[in-house]
Structure 1
Amino acid sequence: MSETHTNAPRPRRRRRPYRLAAALLVLLGLAGYYIVQNESTGGDGAPHCTVVAGPGGGAGGSYSMNLEQARYASTIAAVGSSKKMSERAVTIAMATAMQESALRNLDHGDRDSLGLFQQRPSQGWGTPAQIMDPVYSAGIFYDRLLEDAPNYETMPLTEAAQEVQRSGFPEAYAKHEPDAILLAAAFTGRAPGALSCSGPLPRETGDAERVKAELVKVFGTGLAPKAGPPASPARTAAAPPDASEVTLSVTGKDRRVPADLRRGWELANWTVAHAAELGVQRVSYDGKAWIAGKNKGRWIDKAPGTSGDGDARNAGPDDVRIFVAPLNR
């Protein structure tokens, strides 16, 4: 006769409904995130920037990157411009940073390597703080390029980069050359309208003085940007009364000098790449406008001087106009 165990463990209750509910909440959260991202970027998914081959911008193709990478790529090109370096030099620098850091400002690396170009303090590249400053690190890369590879214009990209970097994998730079050509063409202004940056809307309050300071830091004191007057509320319903502008002159004081369209597009594209960081809501140049969160980040064609939509912030080829305003949403 078998014993009856009255203290046998009870069968577990099934918790499937709870698991289903938790999974449903996760899916709803992901859907909400997607909707917010889609709306904040003009219906084009997560925030990112894309460069497409424009006139003279290469054989074709496109290159996509996140906003952080776009900021660093635009800074590498801007520092090259401030040093009067050629587009070929910018292409070499761009390909090098793409290989060394994937266009990220890394605070770590092999041994004591740091930054966009993985430069080493122990090898005389500067202090860690200096190397982590993208403007400094790009500048010293160009200095070493001139010193170590003076014939860089006619050298294969891999050889020119290797003269500066002394990498253990010198051939690795070659695979980035086509994309580096695209980025250099866009960020040096040779391919107008090639850059688009979708969202997000500015996360910080726009400050005209901060925009001016950053432009001077990257492009040099010769840029001399000026702040425009507060924007009139009548210009556009989206602009708060205390909105302000920064104007960058492309022709200088002598308006009889033809506008340097390449220079203008270089300034405009750098500003677009930094728009979310600096609270920029709009950039206008050469009859086109970029508006944060609109048109999937692409430039909109608008004839200079037209104001049918109540927006007088258009700009011709003489000036790049940057619109910044306090967050008012």
Structure 2
Amino acid sequence: MRFPLHITTDMLKHQIRHGLKGNTRYPFVLMLEPLYTCNLACLGCAVERHTGKIEDRLTLQECLKAADDSGAPVVSICGGEPTIYPELKGLVEGMIARKRHVYLCTNGLMLDRTVYGLIAPHNRLTINIHLDGLRRTHDQVCDREGVFDKALDMIKEGKRLGYRVTTNTTVFKETDLDEIEALCRLLREHQVDGMLLSPGYSYASAESDFFLAREEIHQKFQKVLELSKQYRLISTPMFLEFAAGLREYPCSPWSTVTFTPEGWRGPCYLIGEKYFRTFEEFWQGMDWDYWESRQDRRCYNCKMHSGFEASVVRGLRNSPKDMLRMAIWNFLE
């Protein structure tokens, strides 16, 4: 299976539960940013995500309440760099106690000091290590030498210790897809449990020259679509076809909700137009019809998985063929 069975069944139960209540919009994933502090200043990152002070962080209780309020079955702990968060052990264990599936999204530099040996492997915990290319490219994007080698060492060590380990790669304008194929080949040799390739999106506070326009995304993801036939990519086939320009979906901005030291970010993970103190204020304060329509100018070039994988899932009910493809993709490949 591409995903552990309990993740698949929990996601199905979550959808059935909301379907029985008549809900058409509900969170699938909570993007939890417990702090803005980071030990890197990567070239494609939003400024606020790596210039925070240690006090610019959420309390453990605020993090756990955000999970309770959103009800999302998956929690992606990001930031900033989450392995810097002082209460990380309590946060991960608190999420697991709530039967959430935790993706710890990290650059890998501190895993051996703050995760390995301190937080036990668990079938609800995935270590998700960011790699934007091979050594030269990744170190250039991270603006520091040695980051790639450390990340690769932490992948090896994580697998040795029994953690589920995946990787996350952002495709930028200058990304060489032949290099990405070489990266996929290397990661397969190290037996990673899955690889996510996603088109970069231009944060308002990030340098825009790195990012892809819609037509450039289509071109690069036609190659990624081919790679998905050889490597264990964890983006759904329908999403990759969407990224390659072969099909169209509305956005589902409500499917991935984001909680930060500033509050609930609206409308989505990428666009912080407004922050809300409570989840209820956020949920009721968004014009979801408007943001689903993608008519806002900031949405034109966006094809991020965080907004569209849920749209793929919603569309399955209208296509028995896609539903069968999804089942084969998840269970048999």
User: Do they superpose with TM above 0.5?
Assistant: no
Q: In which range does the TM-score fall when normalised by the shorter chain? A: under 0.3
User: Which structure has the larger Rg over C-alpha atoms?
Assistant: 1
